[in-house]
């Protein structure tokens, strides 16, 4: 457990340096909480990709909290901000299901890290002693299948693939059949990256979802949107459109967090869409995909 916390903190070190240090510096320059200080905090939040509306909301909340506590002491501000931001993220338990196999569909725009996330998730479940089957439903990108196969081998997971360019729904059909036959615990479906504005590609995604549903009632149990942690406000649009197309997302996997001094988009998504973050990727190693824990995340930002 301690190791996990440490890795999270190390992974978020950059974010923290950008965020907490700058807040602290701002706080240090003031002897009381006033509008000027709040404006400085506002600008720091904006530079962390939190977004205009969410920033304003956090600042309003901060002001209210200061009034409630009857404090004008800048030293209290860090705590108030931490509370406010933790509240926005809330808690997000994994959707419960005791069905076997558990079917997880991974979606997202190009280059967000879907294939890598699929691989890491497979390793994670395999590490828990589960029998994992991976479906290579990204039949579009050149060599995506090979990339995923490398991950499948590392995770010692079963692997279902078709030819490059074949119908992804057919791959998923085969994977579902195989999962039942081989008594798999978890099926992870890696889909092709697509910009959410491409209606025909979103249709293809809906078809993949329908295919799993036809093979097994209740599937897919999870639809995870993979988001690049360095993405700006467009992440909101991605989350909204994917969610609408697929009848809701069960969660978000936020990747490349170790690479960015940002990650603030998580808060915007929390405020606007209420879609919980389920996983965060904080490193390139196979074990660097962690379950998202909102209080720990916020604490890691501040400590």
Partner 1 sequence: MFEELTGRMEGIVRNLRGQGKLTEKNIDESLRQVRRALLEADVNFKVARTFIDTVKVKALGQGVLRNLSPGQQMVGIVHQELISLMGEEAVEVAIAESPPTIVMLAGLQGSGKTTATGKLAHHFLGAGHRPILAAADVYRPAAVKQLQVLGEQLEVPVVALGDSRSPLAICKVAVDRAGREDRDVVILDTAGRLHVDEEMMEELRGIRGAVHPHEILLVVDGMTGQDAVNVAEAFDQDLDIDGCILTKMDGDARGGAALSIRQITRKPIKFVGVGEKLDALEVFHPERMASRILGMGDVVSLVERAQAAIDVEEARKLETKLRKQTFDLEDFRSQLQQLGKMGSMQELVEMMPGVNKKALKGMDMDERALVRMDAILSSMTRHERARPVVINGSRRRRIARGSGTSVQEVNQLLKQYNMMQKMMKQLNRPGALEQLGQKMLPFR
- Two tokens at 54? 């969410």
Only segment of 145-153, 155-163, 208-216, 246-254 that touches partner 1 (CB under 8 A): 145-153
Question: Cβ(15)–Cβ(261) under 8 Å?
Answer: yes
Instruction: Report the SS3 class of residue 290.
Output: strand
Kindly provide the b/e burial profile for residues 21-55, where b requires at least 16 CB atoms within 10 angstroms of the residue's own CB: ebbeebbeebeebeeebbebbbebbeebbbbeebb
Q: Is 67 in the site for partner 1 (CB under 8 A)?
A: no
Q: By CB under 8 A, tell whether 286 contacts partner 1.
A: no
Q: Considering CB under 8 A, how many residues would be counted as binding partner 1?
A: 46
Contact call for residue 25 and partner 1 (CB under 8 A): no
Applying CB under 8 A, the span of 25-33, 141-149, 155-163, 292-300 interacting with partner 1 comes to 141-149
Residue placing its CB nearer to partner 1 in the complex, 66 or 288: 288
Longest dimension (CA), the chain: 68
Sequence length of the chain is 303
Q: Footprint of partner 1 on residues 240-269 (CB under 8 A)?
A: 256, 258-262, 264-265
Q: Decide: 7 and 282 in contact? Cβ < 8 Å.
A: yes
- Minimum distance between the CB of residue 213 and partner 1, rounded to whole angstroms? 23
* Shortest Å, Cβ 276 to partner 1: 20
Query: Is 141:109 a contact under the CB 8 Å cutoff?
Result: no
Cβ 202 vs Cβ 195: under 8 Å: no
Span interacting with partner 1, options 27-35, 43-51, 126-134, 175-183, rule CB under 8 A: 43-51
Q: Which x/- pattern, by CB under 8 A, does the window 92-131 give for partner 1?
A: -----------------xxxxx------------------
> In the bound complex, what is the minimum distance in angstroms from residue 50's beta carbon to partner 1?
9
């Amino acid at each position: 457990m301690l190791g996990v916390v440490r890795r999270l903190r190390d992974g978020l070190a950059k974010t923290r340096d950008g965020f907490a240090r700058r807040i602290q510096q701002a706080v240090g320059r003031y002897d009381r909480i006033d509008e000027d200080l709040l404006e400085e905090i506002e600008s720091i939040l904006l530079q962390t990709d939190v977004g205009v509306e969410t920033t304003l909301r956090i600042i309003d909340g901060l002001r209210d909290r200061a009034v409630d506590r009857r404090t004008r002491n800048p030293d209290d501000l860090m705590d108030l901000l931490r509370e406010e931001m933790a509240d926005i993220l809330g808690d997000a338990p994994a959707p419960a299901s005791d069905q076997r196999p558990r079917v997880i569909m991974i979606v997202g725009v190009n280059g967000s890290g879907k294939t890598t996330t699929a691989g890491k998730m497979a390793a994670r479940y395999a590490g828990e002693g589960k029998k994992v089957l991976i479906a290579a439903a990204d039949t579009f990108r050149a060599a995506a299948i090979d990339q995923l196969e490398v991950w499948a081998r590392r995770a010692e997971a079963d692997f279902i693939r078709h030819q490059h360019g074949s119908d992804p729904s057919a791959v998923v059909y085969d994977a579902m059949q195989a999962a039942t036959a081989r008594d798999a615990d978890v099926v992870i479906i890696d889909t092709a990256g697509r910009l959410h504005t491409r209606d025909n590609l979103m249709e293809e995604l809906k078809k993949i979802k329908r295919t799993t549903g036809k093979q097994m009632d209740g599937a897919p149990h999870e639809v995870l949107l993979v988001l690049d942690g360095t993405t700006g406000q467009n992440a909101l649009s991605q989350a909204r459109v994917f969610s609408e197309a697929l009848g809701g997302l069960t969660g978000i996997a936020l990747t490349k967090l170790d690479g960015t001094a940002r990650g603030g988009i998580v808060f915007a998504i929390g405020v606007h869409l209420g879609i919980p973050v389920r996983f965060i990727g904080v490193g390139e190693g196979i074990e660097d995909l962690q379950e998202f824990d909102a209080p720990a995340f916020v604490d890691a930002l501040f400590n």
